[in-house]
Amino acid sequence: MIKPLTFLAGVVVVLFAAATVLEAKVSPEEAAALQGELTPVGAIRAGNADGTIPAWTGGITELPEGWTRGGAYQNPYPDDQVLFTITAANVQQYADRLTEGQKALFERYPDTWKMKVYPTRRSAAWPQRIYDAIARNAVTAELAPGGNGVLNASEGIPFPIPQQGVETIWNHLLRFRGESIHRVYAQIPVTATGSYTPVIVEEKILLPYARAGATIESIRNISVYFLQSIKSPPRLAGELLLVHDTVDQVKEPRSAWTYNPGQRRVRRAPNVAYDNPGTGSDGLRTSDQLDMYNGAPDRYDWTLVGRKELFVPYNSYPIGAPELKHADIIRPGHLNPELPRYELHRVWVTEARVKEGTRHVYARRTFYFDEDSWSILESNQYDSRDRIWRVSMSHAICFYDRPFTGPLAEAHYDLQNGRFLVVGLTNETRSWDFNLQLKAEDFTPAALRREGRR
């Protein structure tokens, strides 16, 4: 029997790895906490002991005055002032609330890296039907054999009261992000000197699990339909990628196809998964790093460490300001430190280590999940010698017209070569559309061929 998690302010509660335990649902008595001391998604409803984290009161439930759908997301907290700034000179003062990745960035860039800390705003919110689904899932959802899938869940996260590490990654993978997403954004690989050539990407995403009434069984094991098209630069323009992401990828592996404009042919792409290089990333992220983590969890042993209070990127609306250009955001080594907003939040910490007999370029990964949204806010990737190699940050916002919380932009920092990759900038494209009517027929190899020959 696994005991429920407890929390001590600012302290990680260490749990054992439960790799062989498959039961995930909790009792009705335990699930009742989702209507009391816990929020509907399993976060601690109350603030912390010293008041630096406030109580959750529902998140952003109204659209900002004057905002119109389709426009850049306005900062709902324009009057917030910086509480303090963490630099290499005072980093030890705040060390207990920093991740190992953040400390490594201060060591790598002592003269230029800093973190501007703002008041904590618990802005995360989801629709009521998702909260209702999560309450049902809490007492029914189970892990498939080996933890490689989920059973008896619908619409929302399956495990609001997690007992094991693999459940936290399933919460991230199956969290609500709307039913469809259409965006045009810049993915920018940046050299150590700060030079770059933006890769402009268009994505269409269909999320059948998020639809009202959807269950793991009714979506027939396909959780995500994904179509990606590169628009520029010319050397990459016209390349297309189609992915059908499955829930249980051991039972049924991810299916992927590519379209090459030079050959005008659709081909199977079995390598678009795990640690193969991400499309258009110049080798600075793996395929499974998009959205901070995607795909199957089967190459890792997952250990739930517990909750901890940490400074994490949050409510990063300033990065998406439409008046900014790429040159305003990018600096040698990292993003312009004047723009990201950091706040003190409780996060779930989960460690992933490569299973014996499998392989991945990241031998170990540490994930930090926002307790209010289950979106990964940071991950640290370690090499085979157990040294931090890459630090990834999700500069998340609440997309208040859905609503859900997710990355406005992701930054992946390579500490070994001084390069980094930023994914998702819409300042010069400003295109987010959650209302495009998509269907499964839009994501077939035949549809990919038609798209490529347009």
pLDDT digits (tens, 9 = 90+) for 414-423: 999 999 999 9
DSSP symbol at 374: -
| CATH of 28-59+75-452 given 1.10.3720.10, 2.50.20.10, 3.90.170.10, 3.20.20.70 | 2.50.20.10
Q: How many CA atoms lie within 13 A of 174 on its CB side?
A: 37
Q: Is 185 helix (H, G, I), strand (E, B) or coil?
A: strand
Continuous H helices in 155-235: 165-173
Q: Which of 395, 317, 257 is nearest to 80 (CA)?
A: 317
Question: What is the model's pLDDT at position 431?
Answer: 80
Alpha carbon distance 334, 355 (integer Å)? 32
User: Residues 36-52, buried b or exposed e (16+ Cβ, 10 A)?
Assistant: eebbbbbbbbeebeeeb
Q: pLDDT per residue over 190-218, tens digit each?
A: 999 999 999 999 999 999 999 999 999 99
Alpha carbon distance 161, 293 (integer Å)? 20
Band of the pLDDT at 14, cuts 50, 70, 90? very low
Q: pLDDT per residue over 209-246, tens digit each?
A: 999 999 999 999 999 999 999 999 999 999 999 999 99
Alpha carbon distance 378, 425 (integer Å)? 18
Q: Is 106 helix (H, G, I), strand (E, B) or coil?
A: helix
Question: What is the model's pLDDT at position 293?
Answer: 98
The answer for residues whose C-beta is within 8 angstroms of residue 148's C-beta and 6 or more apart is: 248, 249, 250, 251, 296, 297, 298
Q: Domain limits of the chain?
A: 28-59+75-452
> DSSP states of 278-321 as a string?
PTTSTTSSBGGGTTSS-S--TTEEEEEEEEEEEEEE---GGGG-
Tokens of 69: 């759908």
Question: What is the model's pLDDT at position 70?
Answer: 82
Question: Is the pLDDT at 23 greater than 80, yes or no?
Answer: no
Alpha carbon distance 338, 299 (integer Å)? 38
Q: Which amino acid is at 329?
A: I
Alpha carbon distance 20, 436 (integer Å)? 42
Q: Which residue has the higher pLDDT, 452 or 191?
A: 191
Query: Across all residues in the chain, what is the average pLDDT?
Result: 93
Q: How many CA atoms lie within 13 A of 53 on its CB side?
A: 26
